[in-house]
Amino acid sequence: MLDFFTIFSKGGLVLWCFQGVSDSCTGPVNALIRSVLLQERGGNNSFTHEALTLKYKLDNQFELVFVVGFQKILTLTYVDKLIDDVHRLFRDKYRTEIQQQSALSLLNGTFDFQNDFLRLLREAEESSKVRAPTTMKKFEDSEKAKKPVRSMIETRGEKPKEKAKNKKNKGSKKEGFDVPLATSKAVPAEKSVGADNGVELSKEELIRRKREEFIQKHGKGIDKSSKSTKSDAPKEKGKKAPRVWALGGCANKEDLDYSSPTTNGAPEASLPEDINLIRGTGPGGQLQDLDCSSSDDEGATQNPTKPSAAKGTLGGMFGMLKGLVGSKSLSREDMESVLDKMRDHLIAKNVAADIAVQLCESVANKLEGKVMGTFSTVTSTVKQALQESLVQILQPQRRVDMLRDIMDAQRHQRPYVVTFCGVNGVGKSTNLAKISFWLLENGFSVLIAACDTFRAGAVEQLRTHTRRLSTLHPPENHGGRTMVQLFEKGYGKDAAGIAMEAIAFARNQGFDVVLVDTAGRMQDNAPLMTALAKLITVNTPDLVLFVGEALVGNEAVDQLVKFNRALADHSMAQTPRLIDGIVLTKFDTIDDKVGAAISMTYITSKPIVFVGTGQTYCDLRSLNAKAVVAALMKA
Amino acid sequence: MASADSRRMGNGGGVGGAFQPYLDSLRQELQQGDPTLLSVVVALLAVLLTLVFWKFIRSRRSSQRAVLFVGLCDSGKTLLFVRLLTGLYRDTQTSITDSSAVYRVNNSRGASLTLIDLPGHESLRLQFLERFKASARAVVFVVDSAAFQREVKDVAEFLYQVLVDSMGLKNTPSFLIACNKQDITMAKSAKLIQQQLEKELNTLRVTRSAAPSTLDSSSAAPAQLGKKGKEFEFSQLPLKVEFLECSAKGGRGDAGSADVQDLEKWLAKIA
Query: What's A108's domain CATH number?
Result: 3.30.450.60
A416 or A90, higher pLDDT: A416
Residue A195 lies inside a defined structural domain of this protein: no
pLDDT digits 0-9 by tens, A604-624: 888 999 999 998 998 998 888
Beta-carbon separation of A628 and B94 below 8 A? no
Q: What is the mean pLDDT of residues B186-213?
A: 88
Q: What is the mean pLDDT of residues A298-321?
A: 44
Q: Of A183, A191, A188, which Cα lies nearest the Cα of A211?
A: A183
CA–CA distance from A555 to each of A425, A551, A552, A565, B114 (Å)? Answer: 14, 10, 6, 15, 49
Q: Give the domain-ending residue among A74, A108, A127.
A: A127
The overall average pLDDT reported for chain B is 80
Measured between CB atoms, does A393 come within 8 Å of chain B? yes
Residue B133 lies inside a defined structural domain of this protein: yes
In the predicted model, is pLDDT for residue A426 greater than 90?
yes
Does A449 lie in the same domain as A571? yes
Beta-carbon separation of B213 and A401 below 8 A? no
Beta-carbon separation of A621 and B93 below 8 A? no
Cβ proximity of A55 and B118 under 8 Å: no
| A371-375 contacts at long range (C-beta below 8 A, 24 or more positions apart) | A371/A61, A371/A327, A371/A328, A371/A329, A371/A330, A372/A323, A372/A327, A372/A328, A372/A329, A372/A330, A373/A323, A373/A327, A374/A323, A374/A324, A374/A327, A375/A320, A375/A323
Cβ proximity of B188 and B235 under 8 Å: no
Residue B51 lies inside a defined structural domain of this protein: no
pLDDT digits 0-9 by tens, A22-59: 677 788 888 888 888 887 776 677 888 878 888 888 88
Residue B40 lies inside a defined structural domain of this protein: no
Beta-carbon separation of B123 and A398 below 8 A? no
User: What per-residue confidence (pLDDT) applies to A90?
Assistant: 87
Tell me the C-alpha distance between B260 and B230, whole Å: 35
Q: A582 falls in which pLDDT band (50, 70, 90)?
A: very high
Q: CB-based contacts of A383: which residues, under 8 Å, 6+ apart?
A: A304, A308, A338, A342, A633
Question: A226: burial class by Cβ within 10 Å (0-12, 13-18, 19+)?
Answer: exposed
User: What per-residue confidence (pLDDT) applies to A136?
Assistant: 55
Can you give the CATH number for the domain in which B133 is found? 3.40.50.300
Residue A75: count other Cβ atoms within 10 Å of its Cβ.
8
Does A501 lie in the same domain as A356? no
Tell me the C-alpha distance between B237 and B234, whole Å: 6
pLDDT above 70: percentage of residues in chain A: 68
Measured between CB atoms, does A531 come within 8 Å of chain B? no
Q: Which residue of B has its CA nearest to A296?
A: B216
Beta-carbon separation of A103 and B81 below 8 A? yes
Beta-carbon separation of A65 and B96 below 8 A? yes
User: What per-residue confidence (pLDDT) applies to B216?
Assistant: 64
Q: Of B256, B250, B241, B115, which Cα lies nearest the Cα of B181?
A: B250
User: What per-residue confidence (pLDDT) applies to A583?
Assistant: 94
Measured between CB atoms, does B194 come within 8 Å of chain A? no
**Chain A residues touching residue B153 (CB < 8 angstroms):** 399, 401, 404
Which spans in A376-481 are helix H? 378-394, 402-411, 428-441, 458-472
| Touching B: A residues 315-354, CB under 8 Å | none
Calculate Rg over the CA atoms of chain B.
26
Q: Of A562, A518, A486, A495, which Cα lies nearest the Cα of A418?
A: A518
Residue A495 lies inside a defined structural domain of this protein: yes
pLDDT digits 0-9 by tens, B35-85: 788 889 999 999 999 988 887 776 655 467 889 999 999 898 998 888 888
Tell me the C-alpha distance between A635 and A494, whole Å: 49
CA–CA distance from B17 to each of A86, B11, B21, B45 (Å)? Answer: 68, 12, 11, 18
Q: What is the mean pLDDT of residues B219-225?
A: 61
Least confident of A74-83, A171-180, B48-57: A171-180
Q: A101 falls in which pLDDT band (50, 70, 90)?
A: low
Least confident of A56-70, A248-262, B187-201: A248-262
Q: Give the domain-ending residue among A394, A415, A437.
A: A394
Q: A26 to chain B, minimum CA–CA distance in Å?
A: 7
Q: Of A1, A41, A47, which Cα lies nearest the Cα of A27?
A: A47
Does A559 lie in the same domain as A445? yes
pLDDT digits 0-9 by tens, A428-484: 999 999 999 999 999 999 999 999 998 999 999 999 999 999 999 998 888 888 899
Residue B15 lies inside a defined structural domain of this protein: no
Beta-carbon separation of A293 and B221 below 8 A? no
CA–CA distance from A423 to each of A548, A555, B5, B6, B157 (Å)? Answer: 8, 11, 70, 72, 33
List B169's β-bridge partners, or say none: none
Q: What is the mean pLDDT of residues A588-600?
A: 90
Beta-carbon separation of B207 and A401 below 8 A? yes
Sign of CA dihedral A96, A98, A104, A109: positive
Cβ proximity of A354 and A553 under 8 Å: no
In the predicted model, is pLDDT for residue A544 greater than 50?
yes
Residue B98 lies inside a defined structural domain of this protein: yes
CA–CA distance from A434 to each of A158, A199, A330, A401, A431 (Å)? Answer: 84, 86, 49, 17, 5
Does A485 lie in the same domain as A340? no
Does A516 lie in the same domain as A388? no
Does A444 lie in the same domain as A390? no
Total count of domains within chain A: 3
User: What per-residue confidence (pLDDT) applies to A152?
Assistant: 53
Residue A16 lies inside a defined structural domain of this protein: yes
Q: B251 falls in which pLDDT band (50, 70, 90)?
A: low
**Chain B residues touching residue A285 (CB < 8 angstroms):** 209-210
| Touching A: B residues 79-98, CB under 8 Å | 81-82, 85-86, 88, 90-98
Residue A83 lies inside a defined structural domain of this protein: yes
**Chain A residues touching residue B88 (CB < 8 angstroms):** 107
End-to-end CA gap in chain A = 51
CB pairs under 8 A between A and B: 164
Torsion of CA A511, A515, A519, A523, to 10 degrees: 140
Q: A184 falls in which pLDDT band (50, 70, 90)?
A: very low
Does A16 lie in the same domain as A112? yes
CA–CA distance from B264 to each of A71, A133, B103, B144, B227 (Å)? Answer: 43, 61, 10, 19, 32
Residue A177 lies inside a defined structural domain of this protein: no
User: What per-residue confidence (pLDDT) applies to B192?
Assistant: 92
B160 or B2, higher pLDDT: B160
**Chain B residues touching residue A401 (CB < 8 angstroms):** 153, 157, 204, 207-208, 211
Beta-carbon separation of A14 and B101 below 8 A? no
Q: What is the mean pLDDT of residues A383-412?
A: 88
B195 or A275, higher pLDDT: B195
Q: Of B125, B84, B89, which Cα lies nearest the Cα of B104?
A: B84
- Max mean pLDDT among A81-95, A130-144, A181-195 falls in A81-95
Residue A200 DSSP SS3: coil
In the predicted model, is pLDDT for residue A248 greater than 90?
no
Q: A349 falls in which pLDDT band (50, 70, 90)?
A: very high
Residue A193 lies inside a defined structural domain of this protein: no
Total count of domains within chain B: 1
Beta-carbon separation of A12 and B99 below 8 A? yes
**Chain A residues touching residue B154 (CB < 8 angstroms):** 399
Least confident of A150-159, A429-438, B107-116, B254-263: A150-159
Beta-carbon separation of A622 and B215 below 8 A? yes
Measured between CB atoms, does A38 come within 8 Å of chain B? yes
User: What per-residue confidence (pLDDT) applies to B30?
Assistant: 65
Tell me the C-alpha distance between A237 and A307, whole Å: 14
B94 or A376, higher pLDDT: B94
Does A558 lie in the same domain as A483? yes
Does A600 lie in the same domain as A574? yes
Residue B47 lies inside a defined structural domain of this protein: no
Residue B10 lies inside a defined structural domain of this protein: no
Beta-carbon separation of B212 and A397 below 8 A? no
Does A423 lie in the same domain as A367? no
User: What per-residue confidence (pLDDT) applies to A139?
Assistant: 57
Measured between CB atoms, does B197 come within 8 Å of chain A? no
User: What per-residue confidence (pLDDT) applies to A246?
Assistant: 46
Residue A424 lies inside a defined structural domain of this protein: yes
User: What per-residue confidence (pLDDT) applies to A300?
Assistant: 37
Q: Which residue of A has its CA nearest to B205?
A: A404
User: What phi and psi, each to the nearest 5 degrees, are found at residue B176?
Assistant: -130, 135
Q: B50 to chain A, minimum CA–CA distance in Å?
A: 18
Beta-carbon separation of A297 and B217 below 8 A? yes
Q: Give the domain-ending residue among A97, A127, A157.
A: A127
Does A619 lie in the same domain as A473? yes
Sign of CA dihedral B23, B25, B28, B34: negative
Distance of CA A224 to the CA centre of its chain: 31
Domain that holds residue B163: 66-210+225-270
Cβ proximity of B118 and B132 under 8 Å: yes
In the predicted model, is pLDDT for residue A418 greater than 60?
yes
pTM for this predicted structure: 0.71
Can you give the CATH number for the domain in which A453 is found? 3.40.50.300
Domain that holds residue A418: 402-625
Residue A78 lies inside a defined structural domain of this protein: yes
Interface probe, candidates A34, A106, A107, chain B, greatest B C-beta count within 10 A: A107
Measured between CB atoms, does B123 come within 8 Å of chain A? yes
Does A445 lie in the same domain as A547? yes
Residue B258 lies inside a defined structural domain of this protein: yes
**Chain A residues touching residue B253 (CB < 8 angstroms):** none
In the predicted model, is pLDDT for residue B163 greater than 70?
yes
**Chain A residues touching residue B203 (CB < 8 angstroms):** 404, 407
Q: B15 falls in which pLDDT band (50, 70, 90)?
A: very low
Q: A125 to chain B, minimum CA–CA distance in Å?
A: 28
Q: B160 to chain A, minimum CA–CA distance in Å?
A: 13
Nearest by CB: A399 against B86, B157, B221:
B157
